Structure 1
């Protein structure tokens, strides 16, 4: 349906007149080339259209078409293992139609309309249903069971329900509403990306998202259903941290959004993810992953839409009762797209040229995370954890995007380029990072892993903070000016950094560490500290303590396999015995 006529073009911003029937956020197609766009501003009968494709050779007089629907994602079987662009167009299908470069105006459906899926009903005729109720399941692949839910606006009684192989558009159930009208239900749903999916109730996140990364799980944990940001300068390892979490985190579904990243970096992601082996299933990690790629050379407008596309898909799987992790890399590129579109709209700029509504847009995005009681009679629990990278120019954490993000999220993993250059990975700085979920999660760890977990965590963090203070003194007056006890603190802090916090992603035993092994490693290092302090109090020289044979074994504690945790108990006994013998030898001499 023709809506209006183009009167001006400024990059991705197109102004059209005679748009009286249009609404803000409606999807339109511009010109007979069918360039996809979205209305982002209305002034009288003039509409400002954000075009998601290249607008060269576009000029005044071109027609604008629309159906009066907002930007929406298609939800249904076939999402898993897919790679989409920022507005949910499948990259593999577009490559077959247009080659290595995306042609303008290419028309493709997001989900395959011809593929047949085996629908297994879980309700029967006569059962009452409403929004969110699961009526059946589809085995989407060997790992993910896709749950078919009643769409919004349908409530009534199932009149008939089918079983067998159907396409996503074919009717699998008929619902009779209270007024007697009948509604067909298929496996395909559509949902506006800018609107959060409804739920019954949001809960306070308390369970940790176990990533196997010791600095994260023990010191700065994120809750399932929580929010976290990973700010850091170029080369500090933001993408590596997100890849590690995507591979190892105890979630059912991963949605990875590459928002404005370099093309070669996204190529690596697209090539590597299918080759990564899921440690839970032994199959490809892609079988439970959805990838959304919008590289820096793609139209900037689609970058702004990409994170909404990703979070709408993530919410859909959350509503099935799954635990979902959304990785956005990076929100700074998304904010730059906002800034560019705001400038073209001639809006009043805020700090550093970003629009004044930057903070509210970020908040709208992050608040869609959470642990929720989903709609439906079974009151299933679903979680959506959002982790976004932030790329501040020059590593300046005082810039607006980072500061606006920190006011919203509850976990801050501050990456440090000096740690990355020293080959310390993950390069998360333990002095600047924090987690506001720590108190709740530490209570959970005390109950479910070990009663002393939170005590050990506090002692270790205190030692690392004390190391920073002592290093300042050493730089001023030298190492020898410290007392033996302070020198011991530096040695233990070094052990915490090198033997606990530092991990090697290329070594299987070290790439992932379960919670029980993390506690055993930490408690073993702290046990040596306690025993060493006792030895100092008994007149033992620090050099003699540090020369004990057990020190070599302590430096290899990360090599102990997770199925042999009793080795840590044996190591602690050896420590106690060697220090006891040292004290006895001192007593016999003196």
Structure 2
């Protein structure tokens, strides 16, 4: 028999409760007179330890703690898209209407509007036999996304009752299914799901297609696959948030879940405002119509920050199960790890390296392994791609969060402070970054972009690597002593860096570049390089070719050639041919 618990001790977000029975690990509880939301993280006989997801100021010993009899879960259904939530999926706009601009305590509001009615189309009728993953109802959630309600895993049987097509709220029963044991299950538009439990799938599929972002350095040199995982580590001010905003705006995912985990509130405000004004290039609808924002900023309760990554991942998996491709942006996992460290300290657990808990690596693995390209229970294909920012103190990539993250991601976009301070964005360092997906994606590039894409990519990367070695020599003896062929490598690499890798997020044309244009830009740069090599082989100095201005001309093509008309590259091809011919003619 369950008996009530009462508060015994308070240590920040961690509360010790005693005197009762019936609580289990990971159960949700209501703490104190204001019914603050918490989760059981330890049970010891008649005592339990609870982490509270709200400010614990004002709690005192003796106040009652009530269990809800279920693990930490959120309400999933139509109405999530286009809204902003806190770390435990409470709608911030609704909370603002009720409590003002600051988060009120004990405000337990469901993620979905229970009164709003949706235009529902039914896909089953009485007498139908159903199995897990079958579609039983659908409704247009936004102008671009159709919400698909599926029979949950583990449920099979016969439909004994189904409502007709019409308008219904999320908490009204639409279908009744009687299983083989005679038990009746009511299915609604909405369902609850425990955030720490991965959602089921039929099978994992091979990762064989890229997530196209329109960012040249990513798509060309360090691609990420749909269903893959990437990390963006970098020091303060290096452009992590800017890079994630670009990926959220332009990647070809169907749905974006943007998770602000411990970052500054102004950055989430910027995302909310920009995404509301921007038009999705694919649908020409506001970007927020396919975006969900989860804001658990640095001034919000630290315990909720720890839960927010699971909230975001659960929402991403929910839409994946409908057959959508979802991109989850987590900014940043370092703040999440710091929340783990603080809670671990309050629980008096033995610390590991730099004070982080010993289970940091396993928690990171639990998060990133939920990414993947899958076959859903319905038989469709869907994916969750995870892109996590990491904020190592002082830009030290040897710290525990960065090092453990590298174990579970296959794309590493290392940001460089010196590039950011030089206004070179994205400030991804091409020497420290890598992508392990490149080889697996080669067949896709060959088929959809062209067989020259991967060889051009490899030559571009090789020139950048060669330049790095030569610059070590230049620092010692200067560039003037280098032979002409090595000067050409340095000059071509500079063209690659400035004319190709550097990208202006605020320029109408340059903010997003399709793969066809990226390939054409690479081909032109390499055409100039090969032509210049031929001149140097005839002992013609590189300075004569530089004097034609062709290198400076090619740096401007990214701003001047429209994305929808790669044929406009013809003048630049003619300019390269003319510059090479001019130097040739002058040395006849």
TM-score of the aligned structures, taking structure 2 as reference length: 0.97
The equivalent residue for 1:368 is 370
**2:310 is equivalent to residue 292 of structure 1:** no
The equivalent residue for 1:78 is 79
* Aligned with residue 345 of structure 1, among 323, 344, 347: 347
1:528-581 deviation line (CA, Å, top 9, x unaligned): 000110111123221111122544432222121123212335533442344234
Contact persistence 1:2–1:63 (CA under 8 A): no
**2:495 is equivalent to residue 495 of structure 1:** yes
SS at match of 2:295: strand
The equivalent residue for 1:275 is 277
Shifted more, 59-68 versus 252-261: the winner is 59-68
Query: For residues 345 and 78 of structure 1, what CA distance do their matches in structure 2 show?
Result: 37
**2:98 is equivalent to residue 97 of structure 1:** yes
Go from structure 1 to structure 2 and tell me whether the alpha carbon gap of 1:307 and 1:175 turns closer, same or farther (over 3 Å shift). same
Query: For residues 549 and 292 of structure 1, what CA distance do their matches in structure 2 show?
Result: 49
* Aligned with residue 188 of structure 1, among 187, 190, 199: 190
Q: CA deviation at 1:437?
A: 0.4
The equivalent residue for 2:569 is 568
Q: CA deviation at 1:68?
A: 1.2
SS at match of 1:94: helix
SS at match of 1:359: helix
Shifted more, 348-357 versus 177-186: the winner is 177-186
The equivalent residue for 1:170 is 172
**2:577 is equivalent to residue 583 of structure 1:** no
**2:340 is equivalent to residue 321 of structure 1:** no
Contact persistence 1:74–1:190 (CA under 8 A): yes
Computed over aligned residues only, the root mean square deviation of the Cα atoms, in angstroms, reads: 1.4
Query: For residues 108 and 522 of structure 1, what CA distance do their matches in structure 2 show?
Result: 52
SS at match of 1:315: helix
Contact persistence 2:30–2:68 (CA under 8 A): no
Deviating beyond 4 angstroms after TM superposition, the runs of 4 or more aligned structure 1 residues are none
Kindly report which structure 2 residues correspond to 1:198-347, keeping only aligned pairs within 5 A, or say none: 198-347=200-349
Contact persistence 1:174–1:183 (CA under 8 A): yes
The equivalent residue for 2:522 is 522
Q: CA deviation at 1:107?
A: 2.8
**2:547 is equivalent to residue 547 of structure 1:** yes
SS at match of 1:530: helix
SS at match of 2:345: helix
Query: For residues 159 and 184 of structure 1, what CA distance do their matches in structure 2 show?
Result: 10
Q: CA deviation at 1:2?
A: 5.7
**2:55 is equivalent to residue 54 of structure 1:** yes
The equivalent residue for 1:532 is 532
1:365-387 deviation line (CA, Å, top 9, x unaligned): 000000000012xx100010000
Query: For residues 153 and 486 of structure 1, what CA distance do their matches in structure 2 show?
Result: 65
Kindly report which structure 2 residues correspond to 1:370-449, keeping only aligned pairs within 5 A, or say none: 370-376=372-378, 379-449=379-449
Q: CA deviation at 1:311?
A: 0.5
TM-score of the aligned structures, taking structure 1 as reference length: 0.97
SS at match of 2:102: coil
Query: For residues 479 and 30 of structure 1, what CA distance do their matches in structure 2 show?
Result: 69
SS at match of 1:389: strand
Go from structure 1 to structure 2 and tell me whether the alpha carbon gap of 1:570 and 1:443 turns closer, same or farther (over 3 Å shift). farther
Shifted more, 177-186 versus 226-235: the winner is 177-186
Query: For residues 188 and 433 of structure 2, what CA distance do their matches in structure 1 show?
Result: 47
Query: For residues 528 and 115 of structure 2, what CA distance do their matches in structure 1 show?
Result: 64
Q: CA deviation at 1:315?
A: 0.2
Query: For residues 32 and 452 of structure 1, what CA distance do their matches in structure 2 show?
Result: 67
Go from structure 1 to structure 2 and tell me whether the alpha carbon gap of 1:326 and 1:442 turns closer, same or farther (over 3 Å shift). same
Contact persistence 2:500–2:555 (CA under 8 A): no
Contact persistence 1:3–1:22 (CA under 8 A): no
Shifted more, 105-114 versus 339-348: the winner is 105-114
Query: For residues 11 and 160 of structure 1, what CA distance do their matches in structure 2 show?
Result: 50
Kindly report which structure 2 residues correspond to 1:467-486, keeping only aligned pairs within 5 A, or say none: 467-486=467-486
SS at match of 2:510: helix
Contact persistence 2:413–2:428 (CA under 8 A): yes
The equivalent residue for 1:557 is 557
Contact persistence 1:2–1:65 (CA under 8 A): no
Query: For residues 410 and 19 of structure 2, what CA distance do their matches in structure 1 show?
Result: 46
1:48-68 deviation line (CA, Å, top 9, x unaligned): 100111112212111110121
Q: CA deviation at 1:184?
A: 1.9
Shifted more, 546-555 versus 405-414: the winner is 546-555
SS at match of 1:158: strand
Query: For residues 263 and 184 of structure 1, what CA distance do their matches in structure 2 show?
Result: 40
Q: CA deviation at 1:265?
A: 2.3
Query: For residues 12 and 449 of structure 1, what CA distance do their matches in structure 2 show?
Result: 52
Q: CA deviation at 1:586?
A: 1.7
1:76-111 deviation line (CA, Å, top 9, x unaligned): 111111111111111011111111111211232221
Q: CA deviation at 1:204?
A: 2.0
The equivalent residue for 2:181 is 179
Query: For residues 412 and 549 of structure 2, what CA distance do their matches in structure 1 show?
Result: 39
Q: CA deviation at 1:514?
A: 0.3
Contact persistence 2:562–2:568 (CA under 8 A): no
Contact persistence 2:35–2:106 (CA under 8 A): yes
Query: For residues 80 and 222 of structure 2, what CA distance do their matches in structure 1 show?
Result: 32
Contact persistence 1:202–1:371 (CA under 8 A): yes
The equivalent residue for 1:461 is 461
Query: For residues 82 and 555 of structure 1, what CA distance do their matches in structure 2 show?
Result: 40
SS at match of 1:508: coil
Contact persistence 2:261–2:309 (CA under 8 A): yes
Q: CA deviation at 1:6?
A: 1.2
Go from structure 1 to structure 2 and tell me whether the alpha carbon gap of 1:122 and 1:67 turns closer, same or farther (over 3 Å shift). same
Unaligned runs of 5+ in 2: none
Query: For residues 4 and 436 of structure 2, what CA distance do their matches in structure 1 show?
Result: 49
1:237-260 deviation line (CA, Å, top 9, x unaligned): 000000000000001100011111
1:464-502 deviation line (CA, Å, top 9, x unaligned): 111111111111001111000000111100000000001
Shifted more, 446-455 versus 365-374: the winner is 446-455
The equivalent residue for 1:120 is 121
Query: For residues 3 and 274 of structure 1, what CA distance do their matches in structure 2 show?
Result: 46
Query: For residues 278 and 587 of structure 2, what CA distance do their matches in structure 1 show?
Result: 55
Unaligned runs of 5+ in 1: none
**2:23 is equivalent to residue 34 of structure 1:** no
